[in-house]
Chain A
Amino acid sequence: MDRDGILRIAKLARLEIEDGKIEKFTEEFNKILSYFEKLGEVNTKDISPFLLKNENVLREDEVIRFKDRDRILGNAPDRQDDFFKVKKVIEE
């Protein structure tokens, strides 16, 4: 992962990285990636990615009303009446 890669990922994640910290991030990112590469050393051929029975885990199609929606609305940084309010979205 190079500098450009870090900047691209930061952009996708809507993160701002100070110029001076890009090198540090690059280094740390690469450390993480190489740590994960350890997983590649394990032979996973013919092993299914999920360790469970081939059985569906499903929920019946029933409506259960959540009773505390005001807490959800209240958690938002801004609201107007019963709407969440965000900065103006230009596209439309």
Chain B
Amino acid sequence: MSDFIPTIGLEVHVQLKTKSKMFCSCSTDFGAAPNTNICPVCTGQPGVLPAKNKRAIELAVRAGLVLNCRIEKYSVFARKNYFYPDLPKAYQISQYELPITRDGFVKLSGKKIGIIRAHLEEDAGKLLHYIGSVPVDGSLVDLNRCGVPLLEIVSYPDIDSPETAFEYLKTLRRLLRYAEISDCDMEKGSLRCDCNVSVRRSVDEPLGVKTEIKNMNSFREVREAIAYEIERQKKVLSDGGKIYQETRLWNGRKGVTVEMRRKEEAADYRYFPEPDLTPIFIDEKIIEEQRKLIPKLPAERKEKLFEMGLSEYQVDVLVEERKLCDYFIAASENSNPKEVANLIITNLLGEMNKKRLDIEEVKLNPLFVGELADLKASGKISAQVVKRIFPQMFEKNIPPSQLLKNLNIVSDEGKLEKLVWEGISENSSAWEDYKMGKEKASGRIIGWVMKKTRGSSDPATVKKILERLKDEKDFDN
């Protein structure tokens, strides 16, 4: 099979973080009972007028800034006409010739992916064909989502592999979450992604016929669907077949794309300017207001975290979510950053996972984590002690110093010395080696004491005692 070059462009729809819909005051609440968030406007009753949501427009501007787009001073809404039962007006209000932002890019680790445009539109409703597992003798329509504000972000076909598509989506989601533009939660439908995929034999050839793939439920599925589609097209062409311009649905269970609708003629949406809405005017004041609301973005934070000496893995975990990164920065302000990173990634995320909490719900003061990190870094407490006291710190928001007091940490040197002697007699060969100058051999004795005290003794103190005993022995000899 000769080599083919894939060309991929993504259309990503994200739900803007608003309380109410794009053109009416219905709630955008996820998971509400069917048809509870509907009104005459979003169900397309005669004689109603849409009214633009100020916040949606501000968020679109903010998105434009984050995506390095040009923000247009003047943009208009347009009607996209088509018939489908999830669209009661028989047109979707979108933007066509004059979108609110265009010409941007998203920077990935190795390359830049261009953004053609990011424009405002409204979502459609939802169709149901089953109630539970019982098929309906028709289709049911829930219009709760109808009119929810979306931003459609259209990339240039700059993507050349499923992996790059995956990285682009992750980067895009992180940016939009950092700037609180969208939750980008595919499970809750606040992010959807359609992919245009084509292949050609060489860069000198014009682009091949593209197919559009839909219905992926996670970024992983997007990656799989693109990989499958590239292979399918390669095979068809290699066998002398033809690719048709069509929409294909991803079937996650079978891991294949299936033809859904062949586009014999270009869909005719008969776009025209929406006569019920005035244009959107964006001035410097709105742009500056939104610019001020954008926090330090992941790329910049990554650099700072590397400078603090964190590993690539630690940096990746910590910058993934803005609030987690903020927590780390607060905790490491006056403390050992590497140790803080360790505690957050191992212990804090561990507890959050166990209790199914988000970082917003964590009550533990980040300064306490910093305090614990310093105790650990200076050898005053062991990893076992950390493991023992962290859950209590987490649950009750108590500083580690207070917990250590309550914990009956064996810090009484007299008591410890007794234990060290026991350790010596239990590990006599290690003791001989240690006396002969093998530093490492001390580890076995220290380890024995730590185990005996179930981690509640301080290894540094144990070591100190051991050294003293060795010196005394030397003196005796």
Q: What separation, in Å, do the CA atoms of A91 and B43 have in the docked complex?
A: 22
Q: Say yes or no for A60: interface residue by CB 8 A criterion.
A: yes
Tell me how many residues of B have a C-beta within 8 Å of chain A: 47
Q: Say yes or no for A21: interface residue by CB 8 A criterion.
A: no
Given known pairs A59-B51, A63-B27, the reply for A85 and B280 (CB within 8 Å) is no
Q: Say yes or no for A14: interface residue by CB 8 A criterion.
A: yes
Q: What separation, in Å, do the CA atoms of A62 and B56 have in the docked complex?
A: 12
Given known pairs A58-B54, A61-B54, the reply for A69 and B268 (CB within 8 Å) is no
Q: Mark B123-143, 1 if CB is under 8 A from A, else 0.
A: 000011100000011111111
- The answer to whether A57 and B52 have CB atoms under 8 Å apart is yes
- The answer to whether A58 and B43 have CB atoms under 8 Å apart is no
Interface residues of B in 402-432 (CB under 8 A from A): none
Q: Say yes or no for B252: interface residue by CB 8 A criterion.
A: no
Tell me how many residues of A have a C-beta within 8 Å of chain B: 35
Q: Say yes or no for B217: interface residue by CB 8 A criterion.
A: no
- The answer to whether A83 and B36 have CB atoms under 8 Å apart is no
- The answer to whether B142 and A61 have CB atoms under 8 Å apart is no
Interface residues of B in 23-75 (CB under 8 A from A): 25-27, 33-36, 38-40, 43, 45, 51-57, 74
* Residue in A52, A54, A85 whose beta carbon sits within 8 Å of that of B138 in the complex: A85
30 A-B pairs with C-beta separation under 8 A: A12-B81, A12-B268, A56-B57, A56-B280, A57-B278, A58-B53, A59-B53, A60-B54, A61-B20, A61-B54, A62-B20, A63-B26, A64-B20, A64-B26, A66-B25, A66-B38, A72-B45, A75-B45, A80-B136, A82-B36, A83-B35, A83-B128, A83-B141, A84-B143, A85-B138, A86-B139, A87-B138, A88-B129, A88-B137, A88-B139
Query: Could you list 15 further interchain pairs (A-B, Cβ under 8 angstroms) beyond the known A63-B26, A78-B138?
Result: A60-B54, A61-B20, A66-B25, A66-B38, A69-B36, A72-B39, A72-B43, A83-B142, A84-B143, A85-B138, A85-B140, A86-B138, A86-B140, A86-B141, A87-B138
